[in-house]
Homo-oligomer: A and B are copies of this chain.
Amino acid sequence: MRLAVIPGDGIGPEVIAEALKVLGEVVPAAEITRYDLGAARWHATGELLPESVLGELRQHDAILLGAVGDPSVPSGILERGLLLRLRFELDHHVNLRPARLYPGVRSPLADPPEIDMVVVREGTEGPYAGNGGLLRKDTPHEIATEVSLNTSFGVERVVRDAFARASARTRRHLTLVHKTNVLTHAGSLWSRVVEEVSLQHPDVTVAYQHVDAATIHMVTDPGRYDVIVTDNLFGDILTDLAAAVTGGIGLAASGNLDVTRRNPSMFEPVHGSAPDIAGQGIADPTAAVLSVALLLDHLGEHEASRRIEASVAFDLATRDHQSPGATYAIGDRLAALVSSNVRTG
């Protein structure tokens, strides 16, 4: 197993160290190559993602990324030039974001139900296409545009993936989230594709919700969701909200998948680089560890993945959430749980 690791900025390297500690317990033979991409490199060399590095990344089975972003870098530079560029160049069309309320974890909701959903967010088009511009900048006649691009090809592959995932789950329920009553063109395409693909999945029940209504249900009735399929921007918004109601982005893992496996998929915690707490050793590495579980599952190491997730679940059920411990201590605990699990499991 050849893994490329991009620790990144802020708390990225801190949580990645623990994630690799845990990985070492289940796949000790994994070959790790580190790539220093992010704010520091940009400041030092002006480089974001050199072609040669991109070429090397492609030679790996998967990529593990900590977080990129720093207040010293103007907004958009690292996001568009590094993170989104990786997602687009490596055709990460399925942005997979599970949201589960683990026993023991406190939700901000008064009366949280069981929550166990997966959001399948489209990852390579929509309003993220980067298509737009400025006309007559800095004049009273300025116009700024952003074009959401949605293709039959792009929508269909992610909808198919979402149906397959729904089909493999217990509840077999899929919700399309969009804003079809206003974004009528893109909404029409998404609706038609979901309708067509649903014909091949009579086992999956299908619902539709407008994105605004979905945010309401995410706080009043999140238990209703099983698999959600949605576009890149709505998925960005909904997955942060889903993470919030299930205990925070400190616990949220994600996978950027090329499900054709032509390119390595990339796994990352949903939290950012959190510069405010960086360097203090207090970041929670749980989301990074759960991202390793997603990575292993994607590479077919289902048993190892399951073991890590079970260890996280055990730790969350038993940890003192007021003082969960330092970053390294949580990593040690999870590594120990995983390894005892290896012995007994």
Chain A interfacial positions (CB closer than 8 Å to B): 75-76, 79-80, 84, 106-111, 127-128, 130, 132-134, 136, 138-153, 179-189, 192, 211-213, 215-216, 218-220, 233, 236-241, 243-245, 248-249
Contacts and interface: CB of A to CB of B under 8 A. Distances in A.
Contacts of A107: 110
A240 B213 contact: yes
Contacts of A151: 141-144
B146 A145 contact: no
Contacts of A181: 75-76, 79-80
26 contacts: A75-B184, A76-B182, A79-B181, A80-B182, A108-B109, A132-B184, A133-B185, A139-B152, A140-B152, A140-B153, A141-B152, A142-B152, A142-B189, A144-B188, A145-B186, A146-B150, A146-B186, A182-B233, A182-B236, A215-B237, A215-B241, A216-B240, A216-B241, A216-B244, A216-B248, A218-B241
A185 B219 contact: no
Given A215-B244, A216-B241, A216-B244, A146 B144 contact: no
Contact of A241 (B127, B133, B187, B219): B219
Q: Of residues A106, A130, A218, A237, which shows the largest number of chain B Cβ atoms within 10 Å of its Cβ?
A: A237
Given A132-B148, A145-B148, A215-B215, 8 more contacts: A79-B181, A108-B219, A127-B148, A144-B185, A146-B186, A182-B233, A212-B239, A220-B248
Nearest to A245: B219
A225 to B, nearest CB: 15
A233 to B, nearest CB: 7
A145 B134 contact: no
Q: Of residues A128, A141, A143, which shows the largest number of chain B Cβ atoms within 10 Å of its Cβ?
A: A143
Q: Of residues A143, A146, A151, which shows the largest number of chain B Cβ atoms within 10 Å of its Cβ?
A: A146
A120 B248 CA distance: 27
